[in-house]
């Protein structure tokens, strides 16, 4: 009889534990829902219009730095004549600006048309960013070396690869065909 009593006590303990887990899970979901609701309401505020819909910690940090003056807003002129703004740190490199542009364009395209893939490798291979007719081709160069400051504008310009890279592609092509002639 003791075994029956102890097993019913164990079952009661398991049931109690399951209720606690269920109530924790429910309260956790309720907290997440409230947080999402509050976040949505905040992001709809016109004052926070420049915050992305799904902001990362780095996005928020950059926007705070922008308000404090340790970041800059750069306007990007696209080939179709439209512009958009991105925020980068004052110490940002060309690579950082390209990453910010990539993220912003991807976010804008997804909000307009849903999922759409842009080949950024193709974009950066065929176009360069330019500021006052100076191409920003070295990814490791700080933006300030090119004279970019807060509210500066960059634009896309066609990028012609150097002869060295064209030579490389011919060499690769030669190796491919050379391998076929051996067979």
Mean pLDDT within 158-166 = 64
Mean pLDDT within 69-98 = 91
pLDDT of residue 47: 60
**Distance between CA 65 and CA 88 in Å, rounded?**
9
More confident residue, 183 or 20: 20
Are the C-beta atoms of residues 89 and 65 closer than 8 Å to each other? yes
pLDDT of residue 168: 47
pLDDT band at 100 (very low <50, low <70, confident <90, very high): very high
Q: Which residues pair with 134 in a beta bridge?
A: 131
Would you list the domain boundaries of the chain? 1-49, 53-163
More confident residue, 94 or 9: 94
Q: Top-level CATH class of 53-163?
A: alpha beta
Buried b (16+ CB within 10 A) or exposed e, 155-174: bbeeeeeeeeeeeeeeeeee
Of all residues in the chain, what percent carry a pLDDT higher than 70?
A: 63
Q: What is the pTM of this model?
A: 0.60
Mean pLDDT within 25-34 = 71
**Distance between CA 140 and CA 93 in Å, rounded?**
6
């Amino acid at each position: 009889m003791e075994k029956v009593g102890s097993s019913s006590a164990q079952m009661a303990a398991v049931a109690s534990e399951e209720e606690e887990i269920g109530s924790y899970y429910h309260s956790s979901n309720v907290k997440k829902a409230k947080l999402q609701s509050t976040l949505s309401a905040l992001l709809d505020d016109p004052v926070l219009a420049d915050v992305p819909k799904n902001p990362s910690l780095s996005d928020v940090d950059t926007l705070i730095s922008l308000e404090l003056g340790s970041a800059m807003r750069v306007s990007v002129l696209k080939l179709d004549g439209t512009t958009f703004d991105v925020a980068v740190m004052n110490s940002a490199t060309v690579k950082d600006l390209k990453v910010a542009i990539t993220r912003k364009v991807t976010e804008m395209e997804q909000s307009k048309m849903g999922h759409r893939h842009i080949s950024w490798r193709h974009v950066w291979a065929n176009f360069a960013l330019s500021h006052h007719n100076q191409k920003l081709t070295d990814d490791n160069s700080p933006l300030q070396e090119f004279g970019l400051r807060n509210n500066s504008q960059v634009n896309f310009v066609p990028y012609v690869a150097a002869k060295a890279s064209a030579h490389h592609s011919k060499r690769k092509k030669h190796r491919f065909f050379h391998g076929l002639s051996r067979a």
